[in-house]
Amino acid sequence: MATGQLDGKVALVAGAGRGIGRACALALAEWGASVVCLDSDTERGEAVAAEVAEVGPGGVFARADVLDRASVRDAVGLAGSHFGALDIAVDIVGLGRFKSYLDFSDEDFDDQVDINLRQLFIVSQECLGEMVRAGRGGSFVAISSTAGLGAMPHMAFYAATKAAVMSLVRTLAVEMGPHGIRVNGVAPGSTRTPRTAFLDEEARLREFSARVPLGRRGLPEEQAAAVRFLASDQASYMTGQTLVVDGGSSVQAGRRLDEMGDVAVVPWRGD
């Protein structure tokens, strides 16, 4: 295990309180980063900051709402005042509103765009602004979703906003490149987090797993491994990219293996 890759680095994880965010905070700490654990839920955020402090050099909780710029700015400030700098920022906050397109209201639309896009605008602008001011480079990782790669019935604006996250990653990479700041993304497929635990019900899981070449849902730690790779110098020549971590589900556009039958009986040329 490549521990120590992030020795001396300071990271901020927005949405660190549980699921993929918690796994990211712990993964960064394992490789030696001090971590500001930003979350709107005090109980969750404090618990994760304590776990982070156990596995790495330091963890501190910052209570902030990612839609409230002042509180995000304070959290970014905490990275400086507590640990002296900000080198890495990861934004995992995001939610999907599930409704048919014709039932989607103006309020649903605003909520969906706010929690997936406006908050990323605020978090990235505050973190990248701080990195540019400090002038020592950095790395930013945004979380999108495989939903942004294709159709997502009844989650139209979840898919559209996640596609926008991937687009933003590309543009920010170009604007931040001259400052030595890399901007990348991770697009998870279905991942076992507390929020999506309802998908683990057996029948659903069987049906779902058949659509994933690796045959199962992902783990938060598997998303965090990709995030940590992108955040570290192991990805020093990567920017503007989104890594898809989905057990292969997004490449399976054609038939599934279990639908193909016995290859031996398929005729070929003169057979």
Ligand X SMILES: NC(=O)c1ccc[n+]([C@@H]2O[C@H](COP(=O)([O-])OP(=O)(O)OC[C@H]3O[C@@H](n4cnc5c(N)ncnc54)[C@H](O)[C@@H]3O)[C@@H](O)[C@H]2O)c1
Query: C-beta of 153: minimal distance to ligand X in Å?
Result: 16
Query: Which pairing describes strands 59-63 and 88-91: parallel, antiparallel, or unpaired?
Result: unpaired
Which among 5, 136, 7, 11 is positioned nearest to 83, based on CA atoms? 11
Which residue's CB is nearer to ligand X, number 5 or number 91? 91
Terminal CA-CA length for the chain: 51
* Residue 32 touching ligand X (CB under 6 A): no
Query: Which pairing describes strands 138-143 and 10-14: parallel, antiparallel, or unpaired?
Result: unpaired
* Residue 143 touching ligand X (CB under 6 A): yes
Query: Which pairing describes strands 88-91 and 138-143: parallel, antiparallel, or unpaired?
Result: parallel
**Do 56 and 29 contact (CB within 8 A), yes or no?**
yes
x/- mask, ligand X, residues 225-264, rule CB under 6 A, reads: ----------------------------------------
* Residue 15 touching ligand X (CB under 6 A): yes
Q: How many residues bind to ligand X according to rule CB under 6 A?
A: 25
Which among 49, 51, 54 is positioned nearest to 64, based on CA atoms? 49
Which residue's CB is nearer to ligand X, number 30 or number 39? 39
* Residue 20 touching ligand X (CB under 6 A): yes
Candidate segments 86-94, 120-128, 203-211, 235-243, binder of ligand X by CB under 6 A: 86-94
Which residue's CB is nearer to ligand X, number 5 or number 14? 14
User: Is-catalytic flag, 237?
Assistant: no
- Beginning with the edge strand found earlier in the chain, give each strand of the sheet holding 88-91 in spatial order: 59-63, 34-39, 10-14, 88-91, 138-143, 181-188, 242-245
Which residue's CB is nearer to ligand X, number 85 or number 199? 199
**Do 19 and 195 contact (CB within 8 A), yes or no?**
yes
Which residue's CB is nearer to ligand X, number 34 or number 191? 191
x/- mask, ligand X, residues 182-201, rule CB under 6 A, reads: ------x-xx-xxxx-----
Provide CB contacts within 8 A for 66, sequence distance 6+. 14, 15, 38, 40, 72, 91, 93, 119, 122, 123
Active-site positions? 158
Interaction site with ligand X (CB under 6 A): 15, 17-21, 39-41, 44, 65-67, 92-94, 143, 145, 188, 190-191, 193-196
